């Protein structure tokens, strides 16, 4: 599972690098939890969640959850 998360993260960082070459990728690893940062994250979450859902839907991957096997 950790390798899967790493591959997803690599893909996202590669996309960020292509779309915004000037963005310092090291900033992604910063643990900035200021209220301003947390508010900004909360503001974009609906848009990001919708985009993530659309991307995953396009991947056409069928992974059953543990509850599906019960």
- pLDDT at residue 70 greater than cutoff 70: no
Nearest 5°: the CA angle 46, 9, 57 is 50
Determine the pLDDT at residue 67: 64
- pLDDT (tens digit per residue) in 10-55: 888 998 999 999 999 888 888 778 899 889 989 999 999 998 888 8
Determine the pLDDT at residue 50: 93
- pLDDT at residue 62 greater than cutoff 70: no
Confidence band (pLDDT; 50, 70, 90) for 69? low
Contact criterion met (CB below 8 Å) for 28 and 13: yes
What is the domain partition of the chain in residue ranges? Answer: 32-59
Determine the pLDDT at residue 5: 86
């Amino acid at each position: 599972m950790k390798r899967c998360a790493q591959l997803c993260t690599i893909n996202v960082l590669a996309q960020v690098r292509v779309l915004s070459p000037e963005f310092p990728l090291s900033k992604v690893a910063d643990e900035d939890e200021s209220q301003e940062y947390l508010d900004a994250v909360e503001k974009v979450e609906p848009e990001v969640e919708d985009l993530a859902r659309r991307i995953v839907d396009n991947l056409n991957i069928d992974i059953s959850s543990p509850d599906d096997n019960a």
